[in-house]
Amino acid sequence: MKTNEAAKVVLYEKPTCTKCREVKKILTEQGIEFESIEYLKKPFSVDELKRLLRRAGLKPRDALRKNEPAYQRYVAGQNLDDDQLIRTMVKHPELIQRPIVTRGSKAVLARPSSNLSKLGIE
């Protein structure tokens, strides 16, 4: 059965993350087929992360995990511009907020999971 690529749902996640498991449960309960990508195992390229953030309407700083040790090590007090920040996030994907869900041309940071409604997922 061929799926409609425009409506394809992709979940960028870390399986041990509580919010990621919550989103996975919502998608499963609604019968929504999705592709799951562990972005810590299959990291983004610079261009992929830029496109993903643009689709979600997020600036790199909006998608940063500030409680990670890598934030203190590589970001805090560094005065990085957006391009430098994206390169740092690609090198250290643990800095990227999760889960991120895409559907068609849109993406959301599903934190809180109610943000899924922006993709037509209730």
- Domains in the chain and their CATH numbers? 5-116 (3.40.30.10)
- Residue 61 CA, distance from chain mean position: 13
Q: Which of 17, 26, 32, 80 is catalytic?
A: 17
Say whether pLDDT at 12 is over 80. yes
CB-based contacts of 79: which residues, under 8 Å, 6+ apart?
none
Catalytic site residue 20? no
Say whether pLDDT at 15 is over 70. yes
pTM over 0.85: yes
Q: How far apart are CA 109 and CA 60, in angstroms?
A: 12
Give me 99's structure tokens.
């889960």
109 to each of 3, 37, 72, how far by Cα in Å? 23, 14, 22
Say whether pLDDT at 109 is over 50. yes
CB-based contacts of 108: which residues, under 8 Å, 6+ apart?
56, 100, 101, 115, 116, 118, 119
